A and B are shown apart, each in its own frame.
Chain A
Amino acid sequence: MDLNTRLQNVAVIGAAGKMGSGISLLLAQELGFASLENRSRTFILNLVDISDLALQGLIRYIKEQSVKTAEKQINRLRELYKDRVDLVENGEIINEFVHEVLVHIRTGKTLDLAKDSLLVFEAVFEKEELKFEVYNKLASLCPKETYFLTNTSSIPIKVITDACGIDGRVIGYHFYNPPAVQKLVELITPDTCDEELKVLSLEIAKKLGKKIVPANDIAGFIGNGHFMRDGLHAISEVKRLSKEHGYPQAIYMVDKVSRDYLLRPMGIFQLIDYVGIDVFQLILKVMNKYLTKQGLHSDLIDKYMEQGVKGGQTSSGAQKDGFLKYEKGKPVGVYNPETKEYVPVDDIFIKAVDEKLGLHPNPSLSWKNLLKDPEKDSKTQNYFTSLKEMDTLGAELARRYYNASKETSEKLVKSGVANKPEDVNSVLTLGFFHLYGPINDYLK
């Protein structure tokens, strides 16, 4: 069965969640274009989620984003609509395309909606029992030819296929957040995967404009394999630094070093908050279950969850408080689990931490201003060369952090999670938007 046939009935399960909504958007737009390019066919996108409110929000999101896509793709659309004499202006064409995207969508709260789907994208919460429940139902509802692309970021695919009797029909298709923007899909192909599904997965990536990086079927894969250990390193550093500097300052220090000193888009604790402390904990649990004796656990994370401090985002996309407190997206406080209160990050606090960290190796360099710099690579190399020689606490923490990240990455290759160092580097640059891959010689 070719891809266009399968695209005639697609479903997204968990469609209104953080990842699901991005995947739904990509598919809705793709079906919009597909229907313009294949006018004799009918395309349907079934969006399943448990909340009506979230599904309504999803339609709004798809509508708003499709306007932006249509504005960007206006030349292509003018060409596709050239026979429509009633559509003359850019504005008319953009509106028509947005309608085209929306007319293919059906929403619903039960899996029955997906019963005729030939291609199912699953993005439900990262809990094994939930995934098993969903796949068991889908296995009995959907045709035998249906293929499933799971957005799991940690659960081995084989665990799902074994539990649900759909061997060969599931492939790991791990988008990065936000799926509509990040170019990466981590592809996890279990040994028993159907050949057709393998081929199809690549075709879909091409259609959606994604770059595939293969990972092997080991819990956490490459992305979380790195991210979880990166987070655990940060937490262990906080424990070490807390003794001398106190917990709030230690959190702020490590967050700042991981962002400003490693030239990353976000500090590590801001990233954990962005992903959600709850999700971070769930992923750790899954990984710890399959990768025993690797210390993939954090009491601190458990403590935050017990205290109801979870991070994540509101339905409108605003950042909720977690390790840090946010105002207009910027950290303004650090949570202290002992007092259960946020310590304000004011000028005095910042100055105290900055004095301890010492001078930044090059304050004019940041992730943001290097991102589009054509000399990004050489400037990054020079930056790390100067970092190597600095004798400040900030530089020392940065080197430790850099080394931990590099070691984690090399282990991912050695242990067979990644096929080669370049794959780890691609995941970090494409999926996490880093300027550079962790396996490099910058500090040699």
Chain B
Amino acid sequence: MKNFNKPVYLAAGAYTISLGTGRNEFHPKKPRPGLDYYIQEAGKAVLSQINSPENIDEGVIANFMAARFNRQGNLASLMTTIHPSLVHKPMIRVEGACASGGLGIATGVKNILSGLADVVLVVGVEVQNTVKAIYGADILAGAGYYAGERKEGHTYFFPAKFSDRAGAYFEKYGKDITRQAMAHWYANAVENARLNPLAQEYHNTCKDLVSQGMTQPDAKTFTEHLNIFDCSKVSDGAAAILVCSEEGYKKLGLNSDAVCEIIGLGQVMANLISSPADLTELDASRKAANDARDMANVGIGDIGVFEVHDCFTISGLLSIEALGIVGQGKAPELVINGETKLTGKYPVNTGGGLVGYGHPTGASGVRMAVDLWKQMTGKAEKFQVDLKKEHGMLISMGGNDKSLVSVIVKK
């Protein structure tokens, strides 16, 4: 990827509650809002931060599987319901499984760089509680190579894929320390979520999270190496943010304190059909992260806050290695030592991440960008990190390390 031809910024981010088990207001048998509600809620929260919706030039909507979860296609058109001024403006829907949100941000950036737009509204959305988890597993399995893998795959397709990764990692780097680090990852995610009123685990009151995270996995009912606390949530939610040129954000009435600059972008697709070469590594993630860092021309030591795709606790550990925060096999120690906490050297997933905030799949990449933007602009409230470095980094992953977007932002 070539370098940007002009500066690009993130502004006016927002996201909804991540609704699902864990939230007090969630009841599986009570009616719940649908896609349009979430799209509008997140979109309007963005509009409330700018002078006029008229200044939005284009829209991008990121979503993974509304066609199956909600029997709804044509989402770009649904996006116009956020505000009448969006009607008849260019909109597009992007999909890359759980990296859809990351692709939404990347698409927004390219729209700005094309010169055709100064302000792009990027929304990510997923409403998944329409089906029980056992059927949701079928739908989410679409992030894998469906024709070649689903039939032979596990009931819970993706949890099993990452359980296999955990098993391989245990074997290579030690089970006890890794298992403990996974529990600490869960504990840290929930602790951060308790500081974020929109997080699915905000109401979590468990006193001993590490012990809970150490719950023995049950291969009979779930997977061999992952328990349910190792998993991100089944969530309904949306996130939205503006991608702008300098002219764009000024036109919105925002000043430079309210925005952060995107200085690096990595966008990588791996072969969906081939199996991972090494289960203990996320090599496509590593490539995307390297690309983003090369473009930004920053080292890991220049980055003060991270957002990684912890669809499972083990993915969290593998991601921080892929990002280059630590070498291979070293993530467990880092996590157990508390270095990924808000007060640690490498604060990760400060608003709870996928395990703590929730994982409305198509929205997650956008939600990550919003959390980075919050940290960069000092708007993260209770989970605000005392930033020691002026950069932030995210990695949005789709499937089993197949679709990747990495973004580096600067204060």
User: How far, in angstroms, from A85 to B141 measured CA to CA in the complex?
Assistant: 17
Contact B151 A74, beta carbon cutoff 8 Å? no
CB under 8 Å from chain A, chain B span 134-158: 134-135, 137-138, 141, 146, 150-151, 155
Contact A75 B132, beta carbon cutoff 8 Å? no
B279 to chain A, nearest CB (A): 22
Contact A75 B151, beta carbon cutoff 8 Å? no
User: How far, in angstroms, from A385 to B104 measured CA to CA in the complex?
Assistant: 65
Q: Is the interface of A mostly helix, strand, loop or mixed?
A: helix
A90-B134 contact given A74-B155, A78-B155, CB 8 Å threshold: yes
Which chain B positions have C-beta within 8 A of A85?
151
Contact B132 A88, beta carbon cutoff 8 Å? no
Task: Determine whether A195 belongs to the interface, using a CB cutoff of 8 Å to chain B.
Answer: no
Tally of chain A residues near chain B (CB < 8 A): 11
Question: Digit string of A68-100 for contact with B (CB within 8 Å is 1, else 0)?
Answer: 000100110010001001001111001000000
Q: Is the interface of B mostly helix, strand, loop or mixed?
A: helix
Contact A71 B151, beta carbon cutoff 8 Å? no
User: How far, in angstroms, from A88 to B142 measured CA to CA in the complex?
Assistant: 12
CB under 8 Å from chain A, chain B span 215-256: 220-221
Nearest residue, chain A, Cβ from B141: A89
Which chain B positions have C-beta within 8 A of A82?
151
A75 to chain B, nearest CB (A): 6
User: How far, in angstroms, from A78 to B155 measured CA to CA in the complex?
Assistant: 7
B183 to chain A, nearest CB (A): 20
User: How far, in angstroms, from A75 to B220 measured CA to CA in the complex?
Assistant: 8
Nearest residue, chain A, Cβ from B135: A91
Which chain B positions have C-beta within 8 A of A75?
155, 220-221
User: How far, in angstroms, from A85 to B134 measured CA to CA in the complex?
Assistant: 20
Nearest residue, chain B, Cβ from A70: B134
Contact B220 A74, beta carbon cutoff 8 Å? no
B348 to chain A, nearest CB (A): 33
Which chain A positions have C-beta within 8 A of B150?
88-89
Which chain A positions have C-beta within 8 A of B221?
75
Contact B138 A89, beta carbon cutoff 8 Å? yes
User: How far, in angstroms, from A415 to B151 measured CA to CA in the complex?
Assistant: 59
Which chain A positions have C-beta within 8 A of B155?
74-75, 78, 90
Nearest residue, chain B, Cβ from A71: B134
Nearest residue, chain B, Cβ from A86: B151
Contact B151 A88, beta carbon cutoff 8 Å? yes
A67 to chain B, nearest CB (A): 10
User: How far, in angstroms, from A82 to B155 measured CA to CA in the complex?
Assistant: 12
Question: Digit string of B143-180 for contact with A (CB within 8 Å is 1, else 0)?
Answer: 00010001100010000000000000000000000000
**Given A74-B155, A85-B151, 15 further pairs, Cβ under 8 A:** A71-B132, A75-B221, A82-B151, A88-B146, A88-B150, A88-B151, A89-B138, A89-B141, A89-B150, A90-B134, A90-B135, A90-B138, A90-B155, A91-B138, A94-B134
Question: 9 closest A-B pairs (Cβ-Cβ)?
Answer: A89-B138, A88-B151, A74-B155, A91-B135, A90-B138, A88-B150, A90-B134, A71-B134, A91-B138
